[in-house]
């Protein structure tokens, strides 16, 4: 096999715990299925080649699973040493088969995601190109909407202030959480935000999988008057038939996909026509390599794309998608990096820095619980 002449020299892994400013609650907390979120666990991978090229990537877990991702990555990281770092698709398959006995989705591929992102970051840095340009960008900026200001632990009055602040910052749309046990409270919340924003501002809602089919149908009809961009995760993430029925019955688009953890799971959702807006998460499905496979499937079906969370990565991937996408604004990850995403006129600008354009901050080092380096 022809090689570039370069080889992976070593891999460094870090387990990082990012504390949140305040406990965060969505509908899963209000229905008693989860506890409020107080931190996010990150798995960082830094890869260095024999020729001195470097790349950095990460995966993450909310509430549980972070130590498992880190442990799995430690087991497979040495399989990259000595390999040509440019052969990313082949290396993804190699890492996947190394841990295939525990599956080819979920935690097993999420550990691979950090390594895969690092390899793509290195490849784009080596080419002196932003990742979006390496992939083939369709645009230099992407529509963005804010989610972090509209969680259910936030009183309605504060959510309205947060929405105003997001728009003043240049963010283009606002998403708020719904899915409370009392659906009347949800309707009042959406009505208050819509009246506050006016009809011209893009507004989305997210039920975080907490409605059953009858409730989702009733709520979907009741919400039609508000001209929502989409209703997100109205049903269990794996209820593809239920999502498809809603998508067929409502004028408001149905968005889902963030909780799926492989390309195969997304393919089933697409086959069932369960989403008008697909919301894959690159770290959750195994990295950029599988995301590109999924984006090809979604593009073939002419689906809208709105990747979940991790705007620092998804901005590049959304910019390379042929149809006009959305990217989700969360400021939560900002303390981990030296750089900031630039937002203007409702859009997030693709950075001109090579690769992902990210550098780990000194604060991230302070939140590091464990480190590992290949021999």
pLDDT tens-digit series, residues 296-342: 999 999 999 999 999 999 999 999 999 999 999 999 999 999 999 99
355 domain-assigned: no
Q: Is residue 315 part of a domain?
A: yes
Residues 118, 137, single domain; the answer is no
**Predicted pLDDT at 1:** 65
Position 24 scores a pLDDT of 87
91 and 233 share one domain:
no
User: Is residue 2 situated within a structural domain?
Assistant: no
Rounded CA-CA distance 162/90 in Å is 44
Three-class DSSP category at 57: strand
Tell me whether residue 198 is in a domain: yes
Residue 354 lies in a domain: no
Query: Rounded to whole angstroms, what are the CA distances from 8 to 71, 76, 322, 338?
Result: 20, 14, 33, 26
197 & 136 share domain: yes
Is the same domain home to 271 and 325?
yes
Backbone phi and psi for residue 187, each to the nearest 5 degrees, phi listed first: -65, -40
Listed as ranges, residues in the chain with pLDDT below 70 are 1-3
Q: Does residue 119 sit in the same domain as residue 173?
A: no
Three-class secondary structure assignment of 30-55: HCCCCCCEEEEEEEEEEEEECCCCEE
Taken in order 346, 234, 220, 325, the sign of the CA dihedral is positive
The whole-number pLDDT of residue 171 equals 97
Say if residue 171 is in the same domain as residue 106: no
Residues 100 and 154 in one domain: no
Q: For residues 60 and 152, state if they share a domain.
A: no
Q: Say if residue 116 is in the same domain as residue 172.
A: no
Residue 105 phi/psi, 5° resolution? -155, 180
53 and 104 in a common domain: yes
43 backbone dihedrals φ, ψ, rounded to 5°: -110, 115
Q: What is the DSSP string of 305-336?
A: E---S-HHHHHHHHHTSSS--EEEE--TTGGG
The answer to whether the CB of 32 falls within 8 A of the CB of 180 is: no
Q: Residue 331: phi, psi to the nearest 5?
A: -90, 0
Query: 17, 365 in Cβ contact below 8 A?
Result: no
pLDDT of residue 175: 97
175-187 confidence digits (pLDDT tens): 999 999 999 999 9
* pLDDT at res. 3: 67
Q: What is the DSSP letter of 87?
A: -
**Domain of 281: which CATH number?**
3.20.20.120
pLDDT value for 236: 97
Assigned domain for 145 exists: yes
Q: Are residues 310 and 178 in the same domain?
A: yes
pLDDT at 103: 83
Residues 163, 65 share a domain: no
Give the residue numbers annotated as catalytic, written as ranges.
Answer: 177, 308
Number of domains in the chain: 2
Beta bridge partners, 349, equal 141, 342
The residues near 365 (Cβ < 8 Å, ≥ 6 apart) are none
pTM of the model: 0.95
Tell me, yes or no, whether 3 lies in a domain. Answer: no
Q: Is 14 helix (H, G, I), strand (E, B) or coil?
A: strand
Per DSSP, 173 falls in state E
What CATH number should be reported for the domain holding residue 12? 3.30.390.10
The reply to whether 251 falls in a domain is yes
Domain ranges, residue 85: 8-128+362-373
């Amino acid at each position: 096999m022809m090689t570039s002449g370069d080889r992976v020299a070593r891999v460094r892994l870090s387990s990082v715990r990012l504390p949140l400013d305040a406990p965060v609650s969505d509908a899963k907390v209000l229905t008693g299925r989860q506890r409020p979120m107080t931190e996010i666990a990150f798995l960082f991978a830094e890869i260095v080649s024999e020729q001195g090229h470097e790349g950095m990537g990460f995966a993450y877990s909310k509430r549980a699973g972070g130590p498992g991702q880190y442990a799995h990555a430690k087991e497979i990281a040495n399989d990259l040493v000595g390999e040509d770092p440019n052969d990313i698709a082949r290396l993804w398959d190699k890492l996947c088969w190394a841990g295939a006995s525990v599956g080819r989705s979920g935690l097993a591929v999420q550990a691979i995601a950090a390594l895969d992102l690092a390899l793509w970051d290195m490849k784009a840095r080596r080419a002196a190109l932003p990742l979006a340009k390496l992939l083939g960008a369709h645009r230099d900026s992407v529509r963005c909407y804010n989610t972090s200001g509209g969680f259910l632990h936030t009183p309605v009055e504060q959510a309205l202030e947060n929405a105003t602040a997001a728009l003043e910052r240049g963010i283009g749309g606002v998403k708020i959480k719904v899915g409370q046990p009392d659906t009347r409270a949800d309707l009042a919340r959406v009505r208050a935000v819509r009246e506050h924003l006016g009809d011209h501002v893009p507004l989305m809602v997210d039920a975080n999988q907490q409605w059953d089919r009858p409730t989702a149908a009733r709520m979907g009809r009741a919400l039609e008057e508000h001209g929502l961009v989409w209703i997100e995760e109205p049903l269990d993430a794996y209820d593809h038939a239920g999502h498809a029925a809603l998508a067929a019955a409502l004028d408001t688009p149905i968005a889902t996909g963030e909780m799926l953890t492989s390309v195969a799971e997304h393919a089933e959702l697409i086959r069932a026509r369960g989403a008008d807006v697909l919301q894959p998460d690159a770290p959750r499905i195994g990295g950029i390599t599988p995301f590109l496979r999924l984006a090809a499937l979604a593009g073939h079906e002419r689906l809208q794309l709105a990747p979940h969370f991790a705007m620092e990565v998804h901005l590049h991937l959304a910019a390379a998608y042929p149809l006009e996408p959305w990217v989700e604004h969360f400021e939560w990850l900002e303390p981990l990096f030296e750089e900031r995403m630039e937002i203007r006129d409702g859009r997030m600008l693709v950075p001109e820095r090579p690769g992902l354009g990210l550098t780990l901050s000194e604060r991230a080092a302070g939140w590091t619980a464990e480190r590992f380096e290949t021999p």
